[in-house]
Amino acid sequence: MIAPIALVQELTSAFELGATIVNVTSDAAIEAYEGWGGYGASKAALVALSEATMLELRNDNIRVSCVMPGSVATDFSHPAKHEDESWKLTAEDIAEV
């Protein structure tokens, strides 16, 4: 959470009218997964930060968005969900796009 806060504080004065801040979050922000407590909490905090930043910067016509890119099968994600993950994209699939 420190980096997104610091970046916005440092760069806000350099944003042009109509600029957009995009934060990458995760469904772990809204759905709990065993073993992902810290990760999910940090992503939920990023969503809350994004919403507060949006309110704080609305008079400067600066938009703030959160994106949840979806599940990607990685060594990190596999143990958390006990399901067939064969449908998910791999990092290699995404790199090819």
| Active site positions, annotated | 39
Q: Give the span between the Cα atoms of 94 and 70, in whole angstroms.
A: 11
What's the start-to-end Cα distance of the chain, in Å?
Answer: 29
- H-type helices in 2-81, by residue range? 2-11, 37-57
DSSP 79: T
Which of 15, 26, 3 lies closest to 64 in space, CA to CA? 15
